[in-house]
Amino acid sequence: MPHVDAEGAATFPADAGELVETAFAKINLALHVRHKRTDGYHALESLFVFTQLGDRLSGRVRSDGSINLYVEGPFGRELDAGPDNLVMKAAHALQAHLGGSPGADLRLRKMLPVASGIGGGSADAAAALRLLTRLWNAPLSTEALERIALSLGSDVPACIGSVSQMVRGRGEVLHRQSVAGLSAMPILLVNPGVAVSTAQVFGNWDRVDRGPLAASDLEQLIAAGRNDLEAPAMAAAPVIADVLAALKACDGVRLARMSGSGATCFALFETDRQCARAAERLRDGHGGWWVAETRIRTE
């Protein structure tokens, strides 16, 4: 069972001979799509924050060079543990970068919904890179890890550090950015139990550039920020609109938006009590929704 650290975050103690990393959930507090690039990717501007909630990845070293992955947890059945899993891709990419390495037995406890817009797979891949550099005693610079991470997916580089940052380009331009008032703020995550296709959502974006993202403080983020993928995501999964409406109707909400390409939505609250009451209300009224109370990670 996980225990709770001084910040209130769930942590996972390792068994003997085992290393552990938490793959923290990623939240796009705002996501502005500026244009489609000539390489087929979309140019984005997004403020990423991470929550204290996440998946658990543990690992032990093997001497034969092979890599094995076992997946368990509430959402484990929805994932294949084969070579297409991002944890496996990350492990093999790091092994190739190092020109060979010991192997590993990896175990992923999947606590976050799959294909849900909160970077679960990307966070898992980043956690794998962090864990394996420790397990294999192969320290790499943050820049080197981020280059490997970008080859795995646009969100993976930001998940390496898992700190609040402005992310631009396709995910390769990172600038650490703290926003006053956000650190340790209560946040409620809600997923209606549907998976949406990231490619479909981006493909249905209307290609209208609605302007750059500015997030010097929380009030500016609330007033001028947006998620340009909300409309195409709601077209693909109308229940997302129901989730947002339910969150906005809760007492004490400062900001409610969809994260990433959906379908997970979030709400920021001033107090833990308001967040807990909202969670109780949504669980009572929508038994099929995944509802999780947590906080934004402190830095």
The active-site residue, picked from 26, 55, 110, 228, is 26
The CATH fold assigned to 3-176 is: Ribosomal Protein S5; domain 2 (3.30.230)
Q: Can 155 be counted among the known catalytic residues? A: yes
Q: What is the pTM of this model?
A: 0.92
pLDDT band at 14 (very low <50, low <70, confident <90, very high): low
Instruction: Give the pairing type, strands 103-109 and 67-72.
Output: parallel
pLDDT in tens, 240-295: 999 999 999 999 999 999 999 999 999 999 999 999 999 999 999 999 999 999 99
Asked whether 192 and 289 are in contact (CB, 8 A), the reply is yes
Residue 133 has pLDDT above 90, yes or no: yes
The active-site residue, picked from 89, 155, 228, 251, is 155
Residue 71 has pLDDT above 60, yes or no: yes
Residue 99 has pLDDT above 90, yes or no: yes
What pLDDT was estimated at residue 101? 82
Peptide bond between residue 263 and the one before it cis (omega within 30 degrees of 0): yes
Give the closest residue to 199 by CA, choosing from 157, 172, 229.
Answer: 229
Residue 160 has pLDDT above 70, yes or no: yes
Enumerate the domain spans of the chain: 3-176, 186-295
What pLDDT was estimated at residue 178? 87
Residues 118-122, mean pLDDT to the nearest whole number? 95
What pLDDT was estimated at residue 7? 40
pLDDT in tens, 179-222: 988 989 999 999 999 989 999 999 999 999 999 999 989 999 99
CATH 3.30.70.890, applies to 186-295 = yes
